[in-house]
Structure 1
Amino acid sequence: MTSAVVFAYHNVGVRSLKVLLAHGIDVRLVITHEDNPGEQIWFASVREVCREYGIACITPADPNADDVVARVAALDADFLFSFYYRLMLKAPLLATARLGAFNLHGSLLPKYRGRVPVNWAIIHGERETGASLHVMNIKPDNGALVDQQAVPILPDDTAQDVFTKVMVAGEICLDRALPRLIAGTATLTPQDLSQGAYFGGRTAEDGRIDWRQPARRIHDLVRAVTHPFPGAFADLPGGRLHVWRTRVVDQPAPAGKPGMLEFRDGSHTLYPLGGGCLRVLEADIDGGALPEQDLPLLRIP
């Protein structure tokens, strides 16, 4: 029976682990994370899946610690898989897998290597992304490709909408590739790294809106960082504005309106300095309802 050690977290980890089990893989150990009490946990638990299936599961702070590497090496597994695991796995760990170590990444590599690829793809206005199964090495997300599956990004899709699609795309990749990996017939295609770049993690402050951007760019930021993420925001004269959902309206800003949040006919519209306009579908100021009046988008000195 083909065997594996799995590093996994989040919904992607849950679904991918179940794909391995569906293919009869002997999962000898799962390494996951302790949930961060300061993080909103809106996703499924890998540890709960391990309890359900009777799989050994550990949550080391450092997966590359000598005792963890020794335990993984002693299992003599055929494969090592990483599914949305948040820490880098170093060379000694990767070398423990007899037939190779593989990672499932949430973009169409080589584009959007690195952190939070779904959010970055939306912020940049991409109309397509996907999942990539690739060889793991000591540099993140640059190993040879085993399989990829594309999904569309619709103009009003949020990060959670796209993440759900990418999760299914990853499941398809893994399900399709496993028979070839097990048989030793998988084709490994080197990445052309010049066709993409690395992107870093994001913080709540990265959701600050730049009103000099055009409406479409601001809309892309809003949908990329809306719930369950901290949201797009700006400090207005009336308090901190959080914008959770918008729609691009194909009309020019009226004279005198650029730089304003307008209230008219029972709804609010944003007119960024960068041009265009956004219908506000969900927003708040300091956690409360928007006032039924016009507001400037920038603080007046």
Structure 2
Amino acid sequence: MTSEAKPRVLLVGIGPTTRDALEALAERFDVVALVRPGDDDTTAYAGKLGVPVEPGTRVADIEALVERLAPEAVVVSSYDRILPDRLLSRCPFVNVHYSPLPRGRGRANVNWAIVNGDAETAISVHTMAPGLDAGGILHQESVPIGPRDTVTDLYDRLNGRQRAVLADAVARRLAGDEGDPQDHSLATYGCTRLPEDGEIAWSAPTAVTDRLIRALTPPYPGAFTHLGLETLRILRAEPAPDAPDYTGRVPGRVVLVDRTGAGWVDVLTGDGVLRVHEVAVGDGESAAVPAASVIRSVKTTLGLRTADLLRLLRAAPTREDG
């Protein structure tokens, strides 16, 4: 007597949710390939499972894979392109989306949830259909956002729920269920976020700046400002407790540098004081250091100002200089 063959699925994922999707699917399905570029923990895990990794992420690459492998379903978890109707008609497609659809269609949903100060988000597993995140809901549940949660914390919580529910949702789709229709009149959308969108505007309220910093923790590069002409990434901060009321304020001005060893720095915002704990200098992978090891004076103003730009222009060589 032979055991029944597992349904064959293709997994597409280039972001931070894919490892957990692979773990969930591998228990119930024959994952015929993982579409993911480069080498990382997720591709290494796929190798341990014996799942082939396909690095081509263009729509044409995925179309060719569907043609060659003929999976019974395609599961998408973290992919940044819209798949055409001609491809979606080839077999069932299921997508994992971290927002309470129909609210939060589009991009950067987990970041936007923290940036906007939402009290909760959701995991929505849905059938892929023509239109942006418009297909029927196969599974949806709310996930709370705590007052000090970072995007790292929220991804951990959402990924944990994905591990728990994804396989059942895919099985539901393979059984012919297209999910519960969305009410498209309630749809809202999030636009793409770019790295430069992480620049801190110190004139914004403290709560807004605090949320931006928490929304760009790993796997994102971090919110940033400038210390003179150097890029300074703000990795950990919080509203300063029991801060004085500054009726004279220059947003971005440092007003207190801790000398006791904790290493924090207090910085004025548009309406209060932000306590900066950890920073990193530069755009790359430099290590986190206490803010006071880099920002040492209350005469410092964070943010790229007109005076900094003029100094840069004056120092630039002229044509006469060669």
TM-score range for the pair, normalised by the shorter chain length: 0.7 to 0.9
Structure 1 residue 139, shift from structure 2 partner: 2.5
Q: Deviations over 1:107-163 (max 9, x none)?
A: 222222222211111111112112110111232312111111222211221111111
What is the identity percentage for the equivalent residue pairs of Structure 1 and Structure 2? 28
TM-score under structure 1 length normalisation: 0.83
Count of residue pairs the alignment pairs up: 286
Counterpart residue identity of residue 122, structure 1:
I
8 Å contact 1:131–1:173 — kept in the other structure? Answer: no
TM-score under structure 2 length normalisation: 0.78
- Structure 1 distance, partners of 2:142, 2:89, is 30
Corresponding residue for 1:20?
25
- Correspondence 1:272 to 2:264: no
Structure 1 residue 82, shift from structure 2 partner: 0.9
RMSD of equivalent CA atoms: 2.7
8 Å contact 1:149–1:173 — kept in the other structure? Answer: no
Counterpart residue identity of residue 91, structure 1:
D
SS of residue matched to 1:244: strand
Corresponding residue for 2:182?
191
SS of residue matched to 1:278: strand
8 Å contact 2:257–2:296 — kept in the other structure? Answer: no
Corresponding residue for 1:30?
33
Unaligned runs of 5+ in 1: 36-40
Counterpart residue identity of residue 207, structure 1:
G
Corresponding residue for 1:38?
none
Corresponding residue for 1:53?
49
Structure 1 residue 243, shift from structure 2 partner: 1.8
Mapping of residues 103-182 of structure 1, within 5 Å: 103-182=95-174
Structure 1 residue 6, shift from structure 2 partner: 2.2
1:80 to 60, 74, 78: 74
2:90 to 90, 93, 96: 96
Counterpart residue identity of residue 9, structure 1:
I
8 Å contact 2:119–2:146 — kept in the other structure? Answer: yes
- Correspondence 1:218 to 2:218: no
- Structure 1 distance, partners of 2:109, 2:299, is 36
Unaligned runs of 5+ in 2: 287-292, 308-322
Counterpart residue identity of residue 192, structure 1:
D
- Structure 1 distance, partners of 2:49, 2:280, is 44
Structure 1 residue 183, shift from structure 2 partner: 3.8
8 Å contact 2:35–2:57 — kept in the other structure? Answer: no
- Structure 2 distance, partners of 1:20, 1:103, is 13
Structure 1 residue 103, shift from structure 2 partner: 0.4
8 Å contact 1:209–1:234 — kept in the other structure? Answer: yes
Q: For residues 277 and 76 of structure 1, do their structure 2 counterparts lie closer, same or farther at Cα, with a shift above 3 Å needed?
A: same
SS of residue matched to 1:296: coil
Corresponding residue for 1:7?
12
Q: Deviations over 1:167-218 (max 9, x none)?
A: 112222314424433444x472222234342223222211111122110000
Corresponding residue for 1:295?
300
- Structure 2 distance, partners of 1:94, 1:77, is 12
SS of residue matched to 2:160: helix
Q: For residues 278 and 84 of structure 1, do their structure 2 counterparts lie closer, same or farther at Cα, with a shift above 3 Å needed?
A: same
8 Å contact 1:149–1:172 — kept in the other structure? Answer: no
Q: For residues 263 and 284 of structure 1, do their structure 2 counterparts lie closer, same or farther at Cα, with a shift above 3 Å needed?
A: farther
- Structure 1 distance, partners of 2:80, 2:96, is 12
SS of residue matched to 2:17: helix
Q: For residues 257 and 70 of structure 1, do their structure 2 counterparts lie closer, same or farther at Cα, with a shift above 3 Å needed?
A: closer
- Structure 2 distance, partners of 1:159, 1:79, is 30
2:197 to 206, 213, 216: 206
